């Protein structure tokens, strides 16, 4: 009892905790690059004030280390990276920083696609799908086969129908077809544990905030696709107040009914994030 009381006393209450999808939110959806760094500068300002920033993505940690972290480190200072949590690979891998700003990568092996399945798929892609796809060697727990850069979406789509059938055979042969699922998107085909996803990322984020004794009054989740909605849905389910900030194409979300409020920005993608954060800063000052 006394321990719990102590924890409460040390709790740091903050107004907002920001949780971001990455593709199409912090990077441009087409080029997969940061094209407007102003959004990251606004994130860095929050890090400097010791406010947490959480990224929740299907991307590998390597992508985040290359595209996002250098800018945050430059703007906020290395020692402030301790306020960042990156949940990568849909919850399978976590990247966090110590007080000196040194990164630590933690793999959750309970969600790992078996090594032999990785090897089989790598071989399969090399033999049959090399003209449209490549095996993503940066993934540690999940498995991704992505469209080659500047590939033809239609050609990829046709090949994807075939690789899905091949994946089903691979999973059945490995006797893991109940634990692992195939997740096709317009540019990739993933094999992942059935329990990973944006909701798992949110639960990992809450655990991390708890360890830091940070208690946000409100959670703001940012996404550009309906596949990001489970972030806000999980928070609502757990009784955490929050809003979902939608920065994607409006038609994607029109008519979608949710148990939490959705804010639609006028600008899209990186610019939508910038717009919302500027208005948030304005309302706080």
Q: Which residues bind Mg ion (CB under 5 A)?
A: 21, 23-24, 224-225
Residues 253 and 276: beta-carbon distance below 8 Å: no
What CA–CA distances, in Å, run from 123 to 137, 149, 175? 12, 20, 19
Nearer to Mg ion, 24 or 92 (CB): 24
C-beta of 76 vs 146, nearer to Mg ion: 146
Question: Least Å distance between CB 215 and Mg ion?
Answer: 28
Handedness of CA 199, 201, 206, 210 (dihedral sign): positive
Residue closer to Mg ion, measured from CB, 23 or 89: 23
Q: How far is the CB of 208 from Mg ion (least distance, A)?
A: 21
- The torsion angle over the Cα atoms of residues 212, 47, 217 and 107, rounded to 10 degrees, is -50
- Least distance (Å) between residue 219 CB and Mg ion: 18
Which of residues 185 and 213 has its CB atom nearest to Mg ion in the complex?
A: 185
Least gap, CB of 75 to Mg ion (angstroms): 22
Q: Which residues pair with 263 in a beta bridge?
A: 245
Per the structure block, which two tokens stand in for 173?
């042969």
Q: How far is the CB of 242 from Mg ion (least distance, A)?
A: 18
Of 112 and 189, CB closest to Mg ion: 189
Alpha-carbon gap, residue 25 to 267, rounded angstroms: 11
Give the shortest CB-164-to-Mg ion separation in angstroms: 21
d(CA 228, CA 207): 19
Contacts of 232-240 spanning 24+ positions with Cβ under 8 A: 232/258, 232/260, 232/262, 233/199, 233/258, 233/259, 233/260, 234/198, 234/199, 234/202, 234/203, 235/202, 235/260, 236/260, 238/206, 240/206, 240/216
Report the chain's terminal Cα–Cα distance, integer Å. 38
94 touches 58 (CB < 8 A) = no
Nearer to Mg ion, 242 or 272 (CB): 272
Q: Of the two residues 82 and 223, which places its CB atom closer to Mg ion in the complex?
A: 223
Name the minimum Å distance from CB 158 to Mg ion: 24
Sheet holding 242-246, edge to edge: 103-107, 93-97, 84-88, 53-56, 12-20, 214-223, 242-246, 262-264
Q: How far is the CB of 227 from Mg ion (least distance, A)?
A: 7
Residue 24 or 272: the one with the smaller Cβ distance to Mg ion is: 24
What's the rounded Cα separation, in Å, for the pair 285 and 273? 18
């Amino acid at each position: 009892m006394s321990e719990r009381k102590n924890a409460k006393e040390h709790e740091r209450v903050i107004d907002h905790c920001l949780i971001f999808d990455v593709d199409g939110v912090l990077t441009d959806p087409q080029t997969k690059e940061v094209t407007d760094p102003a959004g990251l500068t606004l994130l860095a300002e929050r890090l400097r004030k010791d406010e947490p920033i959480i990224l929740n993505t299907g991307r590998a940690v390597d992508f985040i280390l290359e595209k996002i972290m250098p800018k945050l480190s430059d703007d906020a200072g290395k020692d402030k990276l301790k306020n960042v949590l990156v949940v990568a690979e849909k919850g399978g891998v976590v990247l966090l920083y110590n007080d000196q700003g040194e990164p630590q990568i933690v793999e959750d092996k309970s969600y790992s696609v078996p090594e032999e399945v990785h090897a089989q798929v790598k071989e399969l892609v090399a033999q049959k799908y090399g003209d449209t796809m490549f095996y993503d060697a940066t993934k540690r727990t999940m498995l991704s086969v992505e469209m080659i850069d500047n590939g033809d979406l239609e050609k990829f789509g046709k090949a994807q129908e075939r690789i899905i059938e091949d994946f089903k055979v691979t999973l059945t042969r490995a006797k893991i077809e109940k634990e692992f699922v195939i997740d096709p998107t317009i540019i990739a085909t993933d094999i992942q544990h059935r329990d990973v996803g944006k909701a798992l990322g949110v639960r990992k984020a809450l655990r991390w905030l708890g360890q830091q004794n940070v208690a946000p009054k409100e959670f703001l989740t940012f996404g550009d696709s309906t596949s990001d909605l489970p972030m806000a849905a999980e928070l609502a389910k757990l009784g955490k107040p929050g809003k979902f900030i939608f920065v994607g194409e409006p038609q994607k979300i029109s008519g979608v009914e949710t148990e939490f409020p959705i804010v639609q920005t006028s600008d899209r993608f990186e610019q939508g994030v910038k717009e919302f954060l500027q208005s948030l800063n304005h309302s706080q000052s």
